[in-house]
Each structure stands twice: as structure tokens, then as C-alpha cells.
Amino acid sequence: MNNVMIITGGSRGIGAATARLAANRGYAVAINYRSAGNAAEALVKEINGSGGMAIAVQADVSNEADIVRLFDRATSELGPVTALVNNAGILEQQMPLVEMSVERVDRIFATNVRGAFLCLREAVRRMSTAKGGQGGAIVNVSSRAALLGAPNEYIDYAATKGALDTMTIGLSKEVAGEGIRVNGVRPGFIKTEMHASGGEPGRVDRVKSGVPLQRGGEPEEVAEAILWLLSDEASYSTGTFIDVSGGR
């Protein structure tokens, strides 16, 4: 029986690094994307060409019907889902809270909070041993911003990651007796394309001197933490977090 993983926002950055590592370790991987179809299909081709098993599934995680379809397709094409990496997340232009519009806040929360909630719900419905599932593991990809607040840049984004941390803790307790572990990772300044969405592609280089390890992180370093939390090696860990942030 395959270990089957869904990775939301899996076409680039941390999601793509996680997909590669997961496939290398024997997971069949459903790579979710919202709009980066070419990148997702290229990643699927790369994984399948290396002997792995992957599919790409378009879905907007803020849309309930899309999420149900994502889980149904992953199950029908790959098998019962045993792992979820709740990675999809967005941010917008850097600015102080006082300048943020309600429309911006709604967009950020729709993807980063409602989307994560819907994915968690669908995962539990399918994994829970109390509902006929075989159990599984979930990793929520949060951010050090949840603890640091991201002042003058992304307070709204930081707030969504704080909400995700709270869901991680609460759900881990709800489903601990149903064969499901729920943990989180909090990346710091990682070299991904997300910084360009905030208007500063070179942000990691600007801030790295304030990181004790004096550098930005690589997506692969976050992926290693995610795969450990999903593995049997972490079998006694639930409701906990790994900070992958260079000490900051």
C-alpha cells in the first residue's frame, strides 16, 4: 500500500522541495496548485521520470468544492491519503497595518486560514480510524512570523499563521485517539519566490545579517523537517513545532 501525500501549494518553493523529497522516500504525491500549472506539471514529469509517482491537481484552497475534489482525486488516482502538508499560503505587498484594505485581509485569510481549515477537515474525514480510515499524519506549514508579528510588512500574514498554529494545537488533541498526528513547522527567511509577492525579491539577503546563522534557509531544509514530522521516527510527536529559522 502506498503512502499517499497531498501537498497544497506544491508547485514551487517549500512545497516543491517537499514533493521531491517525499517522492524520493516512497510517497505517491498529489501536487496541488492554484495557477502555476506549468510548474506543477514540470515537477510531476520530473518525479515520475525519476521512478516516483506524482499527479498535479488544480484547486483553489479557499474554495470548499475544490478542496473536496482535490482529496477525491488524490484518493481515486493514488490511494487513501495518509499525509497532508498544508503548505499553500499567500502574502501581499509590504505595508503597515494602518494602510491595509479589508479586501486584502479577506484574501489573505481566505487562503491561509479558511483554506487550511478545509484541508484539515477533509484530511481528518478520510484518515480518522474512527471514521474507517487508516490514520495518518499532518504537517501545517506556519511561519516564524506567527511569533514575531512581521511589523510594517505582513501583520495580516503573521496573524493567519498564528491562527494556523492554534489549529495545529487544537486539532492534534482532537484526533490523537483517531490515529492522526498533527504538527507544524515554522520557516524563517527561506529563499523562495514568495518574497517577490511582497515586493522585495531580495528580502532574504537584506535581513540575513540579523539571523544567528548569518544566512537564509533553503526550501530543502524545511522539507527535511516536514518529512521527519510525517515519518514514524516522529511517532510520539503531535501538537508540536519545529522552527527552521537559523536561530531567529
Question: Dmax over Cα atoms in the chain, in whole Å?
Answer: 52
- What SS3 string covers 55-89? EEEECCCCCHHHHHHHHHHHHHHHCCEEEEEECCC
Q: Which is nearest to 224 in space by CA: 233, 214, 235?
A: 233
Q: Which is nearest to 165 in space by CA: 152, 189, 180, 149?
A: 149
Compute the distance between CA of residue 138 and CA of residue 188 in angstroms, rounded to an integer: 20
Torsions phi, psi for 150 (to 5 deg): 50, 50
Checking 96-99 for CB contacts under 8 A at 24+ apart, the result is 96/151, 96/152, 96/155, 97/155, 97/156
CB atoms within 10 A of CB 202: 9
Does residue 157 carry a catalytic annotation? yes
In this structure, what C-alpha cell is assigned to residue 161? 499563521
Checking 130-133 for CB contacts under 8 A at 24+ apart, the result is 130/177, 130/178, 131/178, 133/80, 133/179
3-state helix, strand, coil in the chain (%, to 5): 50, 20, 30
Query: Looking up cell 509577492, which residue turns up?
Result: 197
Q: Which of 27, 33, 154, 157 is catalytic?
A: 157
Instruction: Give the residue numbers annotated as catalytic, written as ranges.
Output: 157
